[in-house]
Each structure stands twice: as C-alpha cells, then as structure tokens.
Structure 1
Amino acid sequence: MLIFSLERILNLKGVTDPSGYLRKRGYGKKKAIAIAFGKNRMISLDEMEQFCQDFGCTPNDLLSWTPSEPKDDYPTNPLQPLRRTEEVLPVIELMKNISNKGIAELERYIQERKGDRPKE
C-alpha cells in the first residue's frame, strides 16, 4: 500500500503542530487534521508540489510503501526505496539532551549545509 504521509518530513523539519501548520497554509480544519495524521487518501499533484517546495524535498520523501501482499516484498521491487522502517523523532526531541556547545556546533553545521555563513 502506498501512503502519502507528512509525519516523517514534519518531524525532520521540526514542525510541532502539523494541523496548525496546514491551517496556516489555507487548509480547513478537517482536511488539515486528515493530512497531518495520515488519514487523507487523496492529494493533488499541485498540493504535492507545494509540499515539496515548502520542505525542500521530493515526492519520494512524502510517500511510504508497505507491501500489500507477501509476494510483493522482494528486494528488486521498485517501491522498496519507499519503505519506512525507521522512526524519525522531531528535531526538538533529538536536541533535548545536547549541551549548549553542541547546539552551537549543530547550528554552524546547518548553516554550512544551507550555504549560509556561520555567525561569529
């Protein structure tokens, strides 16, 4: 089964209120909740494109796949790269026990990856 899911990318990007994030982008409450919690089965390509632009990702980052039948679970199945077995924690959770020095190092690393100059 192929599923559209924002949960993984929202966690990676540190979005702590998924439905609020979507409501700020013009989605109604019901649809925002459905999308945020993986209950929405349909999404337009325009919406997919906008999410990709918002998060700097590709559609593959927003899709996950679980074999519908055991016979579909073979190593060369072209959908295998979309399997999501690892849990992705929100960035904030990952940073809870990092020292201030570690956070400063992480900030410099992120700025370098983005192409920004680090603060002196």
Structure 2
Amino acid sequence: MLQFNLQYIFDLRGIDKPFSFLKRHGFTHAVAQSMSTGNLKSLRTNQIEKLCEILQCTPNDLLEWVPDKKSDDHQKHPLFKLKRAHSAVNIRKALKDFPVEKLDELEKVIEALKKGDK
C-alpha cells in the first residue's frame, strides 16, 4: 500500500512541531492537523507541491510503500525504493549530544555531500 509518511521528512528536517510549521506556511488548521498526526488519506497536487517547496524535497520523500503481500516485498517491485527500512534521524536531536570539537569536521562532510564529492 502506498501511503503518506510526513513524519519521516519532518524528522529529517528537524521539525519538532509539524502542526505549527504547517500553519506558519499557510495550511489550514484541519489540513495541518491531519498532516501532523498522520491521519492523512489524500492530498491535492497543489498541497504536495507546496510541501515539497517548503521542505525542499520531492513527492517520493513524502510517500512510503508498505507491501500488501509478502510476495511483493522484493527489490524488483516498482515501488521498492519507497519502502522505508528505517526511521529518519532527527538531525536536531542527533546534534544535541554531538561533541562540539567535531562540529567543524561534520560541517565539512556535509558541504562535501552537498557538492557531490562523496
């Protein structure tokens, strides 16, 4: 089954309060509530586009595929790349206990990854 998993991208982006974030970016109370609680069955294409713009992601980053049958759970399945094998790391929480003396090194690694050097 293909489903929305917005918590994944919220965690990746370090968004601890998705409801407030979505409201601040112009989503209605009802839509922000359903998006932030995971009670989301559908989105309009303009809402998907807006999410992708504010979260700097693609529609694939908003979706997760959960196989309906065990026989579908294989790498050749067309939706296999949308299967989440793990939960997202909340960068803000991960950095909370990161040694200060290693932050410069981490920044260099991040910059290299952004440039495609690694």
The percent of aligned pairs where both chains have the same amino acid is: 30
1:17-96 equivalences under 5 Å are 17-96=17-96
Q: Counterparts of 2:44 and 2:91 in 1: how far apart (Å)?
A: 28
Q: One-letter code of the match for 2:43?
A: I
Partner secondary structure for residue 64 of structure 1: strand
Displacement of 1:51: 1.5
Partner of 1:7: 7
RMSD: 1.9
Deviations 1:57-113 (CA, angstroms, capped at 9, x unpaired): 211111100011223223311011000021112111111221112223333444555
Q: Counterparts of 1:37 and 1:85 in 2: how far apart (Å)?
A: 21
Q: Provide TM-score, normalisation by structure 2.
A: 0.83
On the 8 A contact 1:2/1:66 being kept in 2, the answer is yes
Structure 2: gaps of 5 or more residues: none
Structure 1: gaps of 5 or more residues: 116-120
Displacement of 1:36: 1.5
Partner secondary structure for residue 86 of structure 2: coil
Deviations 1:12-70 (CA, angstroms, capped at 9, x unpaired): 11111111100111223332121122211110111111222222221111110001122
* CA pair 113-67 structure 1, distance change in 2 beyond 3 A: closer
Q: One-letter code of the match for 1:78?
A: P
Q: Provide TM-score, normalisation by structure 1.
A: 0.82
Q: Counterparts of 2:109 and 2:76 in 1: how far apart (Å)?
A: 35
